[in-house]
């Protein structure tokens, strides 16, 4: 008892305090604790502990009566958390010790049996997986709603045309629906990737002990079934030290936010007075404290800004993980804050992006007015290809036509048939018919293109996919 007393915190002995004579330094106490942020996993910890109590009874380490007492006590702890009545004390290092401490206060010494054969190493790995898999399901639903918003807007705006850009220079005419479906495609990949992250998250490490395994032949398959895991980890060393699922989720969050950031950047540009292609809804805009005329795309700027934050979480975590020897090290505690923040941040980014797209006003006249004849220079080359000219030669001739128009200080469509013939005898009088933006887009009807037939096909693919997921 003397040893335990010496290693006590302000509110009782540490669960691990038997071999220590002196208590933690007060600053070390705060430095070591994670309860302030990992308390978010209180429900997952209780779920894991209830399943573990049942598994202990199954091995006869505890009696059925003790099992029931533990499970009932854990439900009382759950109710305290739900009701906002759970009291954290100074000796609670983390959510695991907090729940076990309170359980023991409620049910007596039988509470001390719950941890038999279990380590905080496999316990925290289990709790984190339980907590994250539920969030992945919630994020999947939000992401699906966002994809649906892009697709619905594409349906409404199938015929609206605007310049497509490369290098931020006008390139070729495209449809606004094509732009929307581009980002829907990115988010669809993000959705599919997230389901893969879920699969690798939903594997049970409980029963791995501290690192060597479980000494009482715990039924890990039973535990997996109780907790709705798809399977169990194959190796106890890996079970306690694996944080690949955290790394994957942080990568996923970073990549998904990068896609949303690119969308936001487009909308920031398109909503400027210089472009005026779109108008953001008041609900997703702010004003200036000095200039009354300003309507700022702050929703999009924050999407763009917080994407950097998520990339920072991933980078910082990988730097922590890269040098760790097997198996558990306290450094692994550093996964919680970036993970928790990443879940909250990416969820809000998806929700705000969805809202922005749903309420966005498109200005078709401004978009169409931004189209210019030189964007059809490639069509001149395609015209010649259809006349039998090799593409490389046709491309060169088209460039000469552009140069001629510039030398005459006229738009490309203002060249005469004679001007075109002066460049190449392959031109005929029908060359002037190519200067039609709608006709230009309609040639891109191969699946995936900006032609109306392709747009309808893309919408059908997304509509079917949304029904199936």
* Surface-to-core class of residue 390, CB atoms within 10 Å of its CB (0-12 exposed, 13-18 middle, 19+ buried): exposed
Catalytic residue of the set 96, 177, 236, 288: 288
Catalytic annotation present for 396: no
Catalytic residue of the set 167, 289, 407, 429: 167
d(CA 120, CA 126): 9
Phi first, then psi: what are they for 257, rounded to 5°?
A: -65, -30
Sorted by sequence, the CB contacts under 8 Å of residue 33 that are 6+ apart come out as 92, 93, 94
Catalytic annotation present for 288: yes
Q: Are strands 361-362 and 278-279 parallel, antiparallel or unpaired?
A: antiparallel
Which residue, among 299, 273, 298, has the nearest Cα to 288 in the 3D structure? 298
Query: Which are the catalytic amino acids?
Result: 167, 288
């Amino acid at each position: 008892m003397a040893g335990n007393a010496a290693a006590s915190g302000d509110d009782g002995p540490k669960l691990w305090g038997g071999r220590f004579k002196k208590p933690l330094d007060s600053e070390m106490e705060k430095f070591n604790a994670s309860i302030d942020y990992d308390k978010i996993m209180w429900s997952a910890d209780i779920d894991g502990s209830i399943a573990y109590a049942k598994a202990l009874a199954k091995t006869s380490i505890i009696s059925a009566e003790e099992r029931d007492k533990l499970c009932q006590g854990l439900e009382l702890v759950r109710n305290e958390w739900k009701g906002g009545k759970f009291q954290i004390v100074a000796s609670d290092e983390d959510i695991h010790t907090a729940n076990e401490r309170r359980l023991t206060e409620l049910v007596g010494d039988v509470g001390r049996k719950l941890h038999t054969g279990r380590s905080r190493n496999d316990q925290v790995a289990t709790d984190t997986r339980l907590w994250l898999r539920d969030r992945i399901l919630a994020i999947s639903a939000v992401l699906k709603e966002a994809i649906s918003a892009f697709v619905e807007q594409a349906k409404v705006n199938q015929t609206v045309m605007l310049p497509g850009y490369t290098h931020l220079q006008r390139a070729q005419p495209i449809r606004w629906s094509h732009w929307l479906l581009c980002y829907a495609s990115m988010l669809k990949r993000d959705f599919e990737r997230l389901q893969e992250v879920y699969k690798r998250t939903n594997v049970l490490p409980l029963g791995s002990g501290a690192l060597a395994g479980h000494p009482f032949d715990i039924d890990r398959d039973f535990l997996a079934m109780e907790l709705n895991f798809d399977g169990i980890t194959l190796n106890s060393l890996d079970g306690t030290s694996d944080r690949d699922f955290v790394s994957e989720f942080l990568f996923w969050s970073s990549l998904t936010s990068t896609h949303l950031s690119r969308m936001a950047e487009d909308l920031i540009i398109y909503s400027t007075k210089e472009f005026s292609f779109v108008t953001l809804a008041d609900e997703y805009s702010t004003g200036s404290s000095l200039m009354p005329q300003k309507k700022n795309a702050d929703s999009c700027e924050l999407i763009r800004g917080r994407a950097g934050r998520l990339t920072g979480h991933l980078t910082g975590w990988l730097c922590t993980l890269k040098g760790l020897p097997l198996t558990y090290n306290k450094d692994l505690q550093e996964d919680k804050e970036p993970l928790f923040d990443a879940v909250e941040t990416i969820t809000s980014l998806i929700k705000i992006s969805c809202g922005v797209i749903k309420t966005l006003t498109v200005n078709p006249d401004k978009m169409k007015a931004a189209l210019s004849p030189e964007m059809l220079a490639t069509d001149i080359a395609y015209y010649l290809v259809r006349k039998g000219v090799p593409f490389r030669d046709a491309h060169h001739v088209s460039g000469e036509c552009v140069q001629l128009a510039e030398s005459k200080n006229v738009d490309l469509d203002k060249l005469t048939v004679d001007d075109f013939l002066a460049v190449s005898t392959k031109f005929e009088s029908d060359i002037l018919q190519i200067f039609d933006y709608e006709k230009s887009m309609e040639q891109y009807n191969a699946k995936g293109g900006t032609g109306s037939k392709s747009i309808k096909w893309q919408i059908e693919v997304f509509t079917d996919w949304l029904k199936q997921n």
